[in-house]
């Protein structure tokens, strides 16, 4: 009994914890000042070439990170569906793909805002921007395919196959193409500052808050995913 009540307590506590963590990282990410020589723990260093723009990194990188994680989870559950033919796995895969699409849109928007202030335009078809656009297209097409098929099992089967095939091309978009083509995003072929800002130019507290943001967004994703799966399963039960 105590174990059961503990797990029940835990299931509500971690959401409060998530609330506090999320509030903290949003507050810290937006309001902590950027100074040339940081002295206090709540001051961020001035990264040359980024300045005040650097603050959006907390939200841009974490939404992009979550979208890739969500698409990966969606593919894993699609593979699981094809092996076991359990419609619950399809619900899990679709929920994850939906969340991935939402976070992908957020990453595109935050990226465009950042691009406006760093590169001068909201959209300039940088390889990185083309590739995130392609990701949006892929998962848009997946939902178009799903809406075209009436039969539940067939819809689940064909959309799992499509999402696996689509995910196979994701490494080309996300990891290879932006690195071999010339562009403005850190990590492009002609990038002289050698790689992402994260590893080199953050000081330890900025890095810590950056990591906390990643954790907070991951927890948020897990919570949303659990809710989505619950409602999807109920929907299936009602329809059957």
Partner 1 sequence: MVSYFLFKKDIHSEIRSRYAVNSLAMFIIVTISVIMFSIGAEEISDYLTGGLYWVVVFFTGMSGLSRAFVSEEERGTSLTLQLVAKPSTILSGKLLFNLVLTFCMNVVITILYSILFSSFVLKSLSIFLFAFFLGTIGIAISSTIIAAIISKAGSKGTLYPVLSFPILLPLILILINLTKSSMDGVSFNEAFVEIAFLFSYDVVMTAASFLLFDFIWKD
Among 62, 108, 129, 160, binds partner 1 (CB under 8 A): 160
Whether the CB-CB separation of 215 and 223 falls below 8 Å is answered with no
- Piece of 33-41, 56-64, 125-133, 214-222 that binds partner 1 (CB under 8 A): 125-133
Our finding on whether 134 is near partner 1 (CB under 8 A) is yes
Our finding on whether 149 is near partner 1 (CB under 8 A) is yes
Phi and psi angles of residue 189, each rounded to the nearest 5 degrees, phi first:
-60, -35
Whether the CB-CB separation of 152 and 87 falls below 8 Å is answered with yes
Our finding on whether 152 is near partner 1 (CB under 8 A) is no
Our finding on whether 158 is near partner 1 (CB under 8 A) is yes
Among 124, 169, 203, 226, binds partner 1 (CB under 8 A): 169
Our finding on whether 141 is near partner 1 (CB under 8 A) is yes
Buried b (16+ CB within 10 A) or exposed e, 69-99: bbbebbbbbbbbbeeeeebebbbbbbbbbbb
Among residues 191, 189, 196, 64, which one has the least CA distance to residue 132?
64
- Piece of 68-76, 91-99, 174-182, 195-203 that binds partner 1 (CB under 8 A): 174-182
**What is the residue whose two structure tokens read 């696996």?**
164
**What is the residue whose two structure tokens read 């928007």?**
109
Our finding on whether 46 is near partner 1 (CB under 8 A) is no
Q: How many residues does the chain have?
A: 240
Q: Where on the chain is the footprint of partner 1 (CB under 8 A)?
A: 82, 127, 130-131, 134, 137-138, 141, 144-145, 148-149, 154, 157-158, 160-162, 164-166, 168-169, 172-173, 176-177, 180-181
């Amino acid at each position: 009994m105590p174990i059961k009540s503990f797990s029940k307590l835990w299931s509500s506590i971690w959401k409060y914890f998530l609330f506090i963590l999320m509030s903290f990282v949003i507050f810290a990410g937006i309001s902590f000042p950027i100074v040339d020589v940081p002295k206090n723990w709540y001051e961020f260093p001035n990264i040359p070439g980024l300045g005040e723009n650097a603050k959006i990194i907390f939200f841009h990188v974490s939404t992009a990170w979550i979208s890739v994680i969500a698409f990966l989870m969606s593919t894993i559950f699609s593979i699981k569906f094809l092996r076991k033919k359990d419609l619950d796995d399809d619900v899990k895969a679709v929920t994850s793909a939906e969340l991935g699409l939402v976070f992908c849109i957020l990453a595109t928007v935050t990226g465009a805002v950042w691009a406006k202030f760093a590169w001068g335009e909201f959209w300039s078809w940088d390889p990185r921007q083309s590739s995130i656009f392609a990701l949006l297209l892929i998962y848009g097409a997946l939902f178009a395919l799903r809406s075209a098929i009436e039969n539940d099992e067939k819809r689940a089967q064909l959309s799992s196959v499509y999402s696996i095939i689509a995910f196979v091309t994701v490494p080309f978009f996300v990891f290879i193409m932006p690195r071999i083509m010339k562009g403005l995003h850190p990590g492009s072929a002609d990038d002289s500052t050698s790689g992402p800002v994260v590893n080199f130019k953050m000081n330890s507290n900025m890095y810590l808050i950056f990591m906390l943001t990643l954790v907070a967004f991951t927890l948020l994703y897990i919570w949303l995913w659990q809710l989505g799966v619950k409602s999807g399963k109920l929907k299936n039960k009602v329809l059957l």
